Amino acid sequence: MQAALISLIAAGASSNQIAEAAVNEWREIDAVLSPIIGLHGVAALYKRALHLILDDYPWMISAHDEQLVLGDFASLKMALAKRTSAEASAANLSLFQSFHSTLVSLIGESLTDRLLISIVDNPLRGDAAQDIPS
C-alpha cells in the first residue's frame, strides 16, 4: 500500500496526487471489507483509527470531525492535500497501521491479513520497507 505513495514522493508528486492515491487505497479497503463487516463497520473502524492518530497528526482533526459519508473519503483527501507530500504519506501510513491494529484486535491477525491480502503492498507485511529508495 505505502510503496505506491513512496514512489509518488520519489517522482516529485504533489500533495494533491498523494491525497488522491491515499483515497483510492481507502476506497479499495472499503470495497474489500464492506461486504464482510458492513459500510458502518468500516466507517467505525476508520473513525477510530483517525482518533488514534490525532496526537501525532493533530491536523487530521478535520478528517475526523467531518461527517463521514459511507465510502467517501473527501475529508481525508482535503486534509492530506493541505500538507507536504511526505507529511501526507506519513499520516496515511499511520492511519492504515492504526486501522489494521484495530481490526486485528477485533478479528485476529490471520483473518485481517487474509481480508486485506488483495490490498497490494500492505506495509505491515514488510514489503514497504524493501521498496524505500536509498
Residue 22 grid cell: 491515499
Q: Dihedrals φ, ψ of 71, to 5°?
A: 80, 0
Residue 93 grid cell: 501510513
- pLDDT band per the 50, 70, 90 thresholds, residue 92: very high
Whole-structure pTM value: 0.81
Residue 79 grid cell: 486534509
Q: pLDDT tens-digit profile of 62-88?
A: 888 776 666 789 999 999 999 999 899
Inter-residue long-range contacts of 63-70, CB under 8 Å, 24+ positions, other chains counted:
68/43, 70/39, 70/40, 70/42, 70/43
Kindly tell me if the per-residue pLDDT of 6 is higher than 50: yes
Alpha carbon distances (Å) from 89 to 19, 60, 73, 108, 112: 8, 12, 15, 26, 22
Per the CB < 8 A criterion, the answer to whether 53 and 100 are in contact is no
